[in-house]
Amino acid sequence: MTASYLHRETEAVAPGDVPFWARQEGVAVILGIYMVLHAIIATVFEIAVNPDDAIESYLVQSLELSYVPRNPPFFDWLLWGLQQVLGTDRLSFAVLRYTLLFACAMLVYRVARRVIAEPRLQALATFSLSAIWVIGYHSHRILTHSNVMIVAIAGAFLTVIALARKPSAGLYAGLGAWIAVGMLGKFGFVAFLGVLIVACLIEPTYRRVILDRRILISLIVAAVPLGIYGWALWHFGHNVASATAQTIGATGAGWNDVLVTFVGAIAGYVLPLAGLMAVVFLPYNRGEGAEPDVPERAAARRVLRTVIVLGIVVTVITTFTVGTTNLRDRYFHVFLLLLPVYLFAELERLGGWRPRVKLYLGVLAAIAVGVMAVRVAVPLWPDQRLCGRCVSAEPLYKMQLGVATHLGASPTLVADDRFSAGRLRAAIPGARVVVWYQDQYRPPSRPTTGCARITGIANGLPKLLLPPADKNTIEMAVKWWSPAMNPHRWSDWQMTVLSPDDPLCR
**Number of neighbours of residue 322 by Cβ within 10 angstroms:** 18
Nearest to 129 by CA among 297, 368, 348, 369: 368
Chain centroid to Cα 87, Å, comes to 21
Look at residue 458 in the predicted model and tell me its pLDDT. 63
The domain segmentation of the chain, as residue ranges, is: 2-45+89-373, 391-505
Answer yes or no: is pLDDT of 76 > 60: yes
Q: What is the pLDDT of residue 449?
A: 93
Strand partners, 479: 490
> What residue type is assigned to position 329 of the chain?
D
Q: What is the residue type of 209?
A: V
Peptide bond into 487 cis (omega under 30): yes
The CA distance from 504 to 415, in Å, is 10
The whole-angstrom separation of Cα 500 and Cα 451 is 6
DSSP 25-77: HHHHHHHHHHHHHHHHIIIII--S--HHHHHHHHHTTS--S-SBTTB-SHHHH
Q: Which of 98, 44, 143 is nearest to 378 (CA)?
A: 44
Distance separating the N- and C-terminal Cα atoms of the chain: 71
Across the chain, mean pLDDT equals 90
Over residues 249-258, the pLDDT tens digits come to 666 678 888 8
Query: pLDDT tens for residues 269-306?
Result: 999 999 999 999 999 999 998 888 898 999 999 999 99
Segment 102-141, tens digit of pLDDT: 999 999 999 999 999 999 999 999 999 999 999 999 899 8
Q: Are 318 and 194 in contact (CB under 8 A)?
A: no
Query: What confidence category does residue 386 fall into, taking pLDDT thresholds of 50, 70 and 90?
Result: confident
> Model-level pTM?
0.93
Spatial separation of the C-alpha atoms in residues 472 and 499, rounded to whole Å? 10
Torsions phi, psi for 307 (to 5 deg): -60, -45
Q: Burial letters for 349-376: b for 16+ Cβ neighbours within 10 Å, e otherwise?
A: ebebbeebbeebbeebeebbeebbeebe
Residue 295 near residue 1, CB atoms below 8 Å? yes
